[in-house]
Copies of this chain bind each other. A is one copy, B any other.
Amino acid sequence: MSTQAAEGLRGRKKRQTRTALGHAAVRLVAEHGLDHVTVEDISAAAGVSPRTFFNYFAGKEDAVLGPDPEAGPRMRARVLAAPAELSAAAAVRDALLAEVAAELADDRELWLQRMRVVQQHPVLLAKVFSGGEVVERELVAGIAERVGLPADDTYPLLLGAAAGAAFRVAIARWAGTATPLHVLLAEAVDMLAHGLAEPHRD
């Protein structure tokens, strides 16, 4: 729900091809496993040539993960737009929760299947992290701007990295339980805000 207006017939078809490739990649890998699926398979399933595949994605992994280039700027904007009375940590917390809500609303089923595939293929996990790195960089920039520190200061870097950590942990737990993602994410973020103190035991 970001750039749907004034796209023209050209852009529309491009977007269609891209999502067709992405969906095919997730489905095929879920069915046959990552290294029993070739770029040729994915292209065929999406009805384009293998060469065209590489016009859209850098490789199999990218197609499965379908990285969102707007996620970084969005997080940055969210952090900067948060009410001024909130602490930076609280602003990041809210930004994370809002982002998760928006992402899931977009394409819930695909997301879940994607996560399942990622859990089964450590190679994909690596790509997720490096993708998260790009987002994290923008997030760090937003935090730095908000608190008035340079972007290479420990505080913005660490808050950004911690946000990434909380996100990953929430995702990991989500894949194994029935608890809603936003609950798990809030739990993780709150734990960070309390200095990682040991939780009370039953």
* Interface residues in chain A, defined as those with a beta carbon under 8 Å from any beta carbon in chain B: 87-89, 122-123, 125-127, 129-130, 133, 147-149, 152, 154-155, 157-159, 161-162, 164-166, 168-169, 172-173, 176, 184, 187-188, 191-199, 201
Contact = CB atoms under 8 A, between A and B. Distances in A.
Given A161-B165, A161-B168, A196-B193, A152 B173 contact: yes
A158 B164 CA distance: 11
B184 A154 contact: yes
The 6 closest A-B pairs by CB, nearest first: A126-B130, A161-B165, A129-B129, A195-B195, A165-B165, A157-B169
A195 B193 contact: yes
A191 B126 contact: no
Contacts of A149: 199
Contacts of A195: 89, 192-195
A165 B158 contact: yes
A151 to B, nearest CB: 11
Nearest to A126: B130
Nearest to A164: B165
A173 B192 CA distance: 21
Given A126-B126, A133-B122, A173-B154, A162 B159 contact: no
Nearest to A177: B152
Given A125-B133, A129-B126, A130-B122, A158 B188 contact: yes
Given A154-B191, A161-B166, 7 more contacts: A89-B195, A154-B187, A155-B198, A158-B169, A161-B168, A165-B165, A192-B192
